[in-house]
Structure 1
Amino acid sequence: MKRKIFNIIQIGDKSNRVSRAFDIFITITIFVNILVTFLQTFEEFSRFSRLFHWVEGITLAIFCVEYALRIWTADYLYPNRSEWKSRFHFLFSFDGIVDLLTIIPAFFLSGFVIFRMLRVARIFHLFRLNAKYDSFNVITTVLYEKRNQIISSVFIVMILMFASSMCMYSVEHEAQPAVFRNAFSGIWWSMSTLLTVGYGDIYPVTALGRFMAIVIAYLGVGVVAIPTGIISAGFVEQYQRKSGISRMKNADIREIAEIFIDKHDAGKTIEELESADQITVFLILRDDLSILPQKDTRVKRNDIIIIRELEDK
């Protein structure tokens, strides 16, 4: 029973009608909850406040039951951990924190509407496609693989932002002491100039300040393009890899191929992978290790498996 409940609420298997029905039910519940929260802000609908209160209470109760079931079945989500460690890990995971933040404000933070709106993030849990490389998994994989480059580019942006803010403060403070009162005013101006087209609330009036603003704006165009290019290149790599795997599945190949393990397949055993995809796994590449697989060997996220597709598929 516990395993069946896990398959229904966690995996979102397309072939499981009960699981699909549950996903649709939760989707409707989320939208109804968000719609009620939205309509409660209109004075024209104040006469329906009692109805809204009941609907919000029912949907919140559904969220609480789902959250409790996810905690109860967490040991299936993290099979390599003990029962209590898996539950603890789920509580502090991204999904667990988002689920908790959608429930707690209704009981303890009644005035913090912004926390209740975090339930919008739950909608992303419903796009768990049963494909090997779904869209959301591509996004998380790209961000994880390119994290060092992205952090470096953000660091460059921060340096340029602080440098430009101090320069603009030094130039404009005497001309506009009420506008550029301190270095924070310069940071606000540099952020809006580097990352957007400027809000117009703070702008230079001196000739030197305007010249510097032109230079900083051009630098901003180039600097912001750095993380954009890194992420774009990562998407291209992932989709090329996805296309290669799709072609491999649809063709009767005899060559050796490699597959990158994402979070969808992480935790599965070699036997499960081979039976599901009709492949033979010869080797697992994990960090600096080469592992000879056994039937009960579990793959981890970011592993690379060397495989051959079965010829009689």
Structure 2
Amino acid sequence: MSLKKSIAKYFDDKKGNAKGEDLLDYFISVLILINVLAIILESYKEVYTTYKAFFTVLELFTIIVFSFEYVIRVWVSDLISPELSPTRARLKYIFSFMGIVDLASILPFYLPFIVSLDLRIIRLLRLFRLLRVLKLNRNFKSLAVIRSVIVKTKNEILVSAILVFILLIIASTLMFYIENKAQPEAFENIGQALWWAVATLTTVGYGDIYPITGLGKIMSAFIALLGIGFVALPTGIISSAYIEEIRSQKQATKCVCPHCHKEINN
């Protein structure tokens, strides 16, 4: 077996079964989580000042690892998708969701060397490092269950989102006309009323904008009660589909006797 085929087994997310593949997945996953923790710690000035050298080394090490991983995935993509020509196989990976995530997680590091950027833009690009956490979807196979559930329930979730959006628009418009005269600074336009509607419908209730008229308070209470049902609707849909997906996978892994067709206890 050629070296390229051996390496490809480690990076084939669907059929890879090489020894040590799990170890590689865990290494990448831990490195991603360490990076996310580093981003959080860097926001503390005293921590960043004290351990600036460590954060720099960690970032360089991470960039080297992820850059190496990206190049290898492009290199072996023709073996992972043998039904396509080498060029099309590489383009398939490069423009796939995970390929874009892989590139976006390292590109901000290289951009300042390619084009001249304002320092504030460079700091903003560092936020793209958080995209590395999306790579966990590849390394933890159990997360594929969640992705499968979302794909299966996308139509139901879309309908729920549309209903919530319509309710937000209606509620914010009504509240604007109800409260505008009483407190024009708080409900100056429908956009500000929309912020109130979002906070109320999600039952967050920040309290920075709230109705003071009797009709407005009744409206607010009504919207809050609707929010309990409408906002919780997608959660119920996803939960139900998740339980069904787990049950289906368990059924698929059951061993059945080929003679009596009874389940065999492992």
TM range (shorter): 0.7 to 0.9
* Corresponding residue to 1:79 among 77, 82, 95: 82
Q: Does 1:24 align with 2:21?
A: no
* Corresponding residue to 1:11 among 10, 13, 16: 13
% identical equivalent positions? 35
Which residue identity does 1:251 align to in structure 2? V
Which residue identity does 1:231 align to in structure 2? I
In structure 1, distance between residues paired with 2:192 and 2:99: 38
Kindly provide the CA deviation profile for residues 269-311 of structure 1, in whole angstroms up to 9, marking residues without a partner as x: xxxxxxxxxxxxxxxxxxxxxxxxxxxxxxxxxxxxxxxxxxx
In structure 2, distance between residues paired with 1:31 and 1:142: 24
* Corresponding residue to 2:69 among 66, 70, 81: 66
The answer for the alignment partner of 2:264 in structure 1 is: none
Kindly provide the CA deviation profile for residues 65-109 of structure 1, in whole angstroms up to 9, marking residues without a partner as x: 101111112223333322211211211211111111110112225
Please state which structure has a larger fraction of its residues in helix: 2
* Corresponding residue to 1:159 among 163, 166, 187: 166
TM-score (ref. length: structure 2): 0.84
The 10-residue stretch of structure 1 (140-149 or 9-18) with the greater mean CA deviation from structure 2: 9-18
The answer for the alignment partner of 2:257 in structure 1 is: 252
Specify whether residues 158 and 254 from structure 1 end up closer, same or farther in structure 2 by C-alpha distance, changes over 3 A only: farther
The answer for the alignment partner of 2:200 in structure 1 is: 193
C-alpha deviation, 1:40, in angstroms: 3.4
The 10-residue stretch of structure 1 (20-29 or 211-220) with the greater mean CA deviation from structure 2: 20-29
The answer for the alignment partner of 2:188 in structure 1 is: 181
Which residue identity does 1:228 align to in structure 2? T
In structure 2, distance between residues paired with 1:48 and 1:213: 49
Which residue identity does 1:55 align to in structure 2? L
C-alpha deviation, 1:162, in angstroms: 0.3
Matched position secondary structure for 1:198: coil
The 10-residue stretch of structure 1 (20-29 or 153-162) with the greater mean CA deviation from structure 2: 20-29
In structure 2, distance between residues paired with 1:233 and 1:35: 32
In structure 1, distance between residues paired with 2:230 and 2:66: 43
The answer for the alignment partner of 1:97 in structure 2 is: 100
How many residues get paired? 249
C-alpha deviation, 1:208, in angstroms: 0.2
In structure 2, distance between residues paired with 1:47 and 1:66: 31
C-alpha deviation, 1:122, in angstroms: 2.1
Specify whether residues 239 and 120 from structure 1 end up closer, same or farther in structure 2 by C-alpha distance, changes over 3 A only: closer
C-alpha deviation, 1:158, in angstroms: 0.6
Kindly provide the CA deviation profile for residues 30-55 of structure 1, in whole angstroms up to 9, marking residues without a partner as x: 34434444443333342432343233
Which residue identity does 2:67 align to in structure 1? C
In structure 2, distance between residues paired with 1:217 and 1:38: 34
TM-score (ref. length: structure 1): 0.72
The answer for the alignment partner of 2:175 in structure 1 is: 168
In structure 2, distance between residues paired with 1:245 and 1:252: 14
In structure 2, distance between residues paired with 1:232 and 1:31: 26
Which residue identity does 1:252 align to in structure 2? C
**Contact 1:150/1:230, CA 8 A, preserved across alignment:** yes
Specify whether residues 25 and 164 from structure 1 end up closer, same or farther in structure 2 by C-alpha distance, changes over 3 A only: same
Kindly provide the CA deviation profile for residues 221-269 of structure 1, in whole angstroms up to 9, marking residues without a partner as x: 121233222222222322221222122xx2214699xxxxxxxxxxxxx
* Corresponding residue to 1:2 among 1, 4, 11: 4
Specify whether residues 24 and 193 from structure 1 end up closer, same or farther in structure 2 by C-alpha distance, changes over 3 A only: same
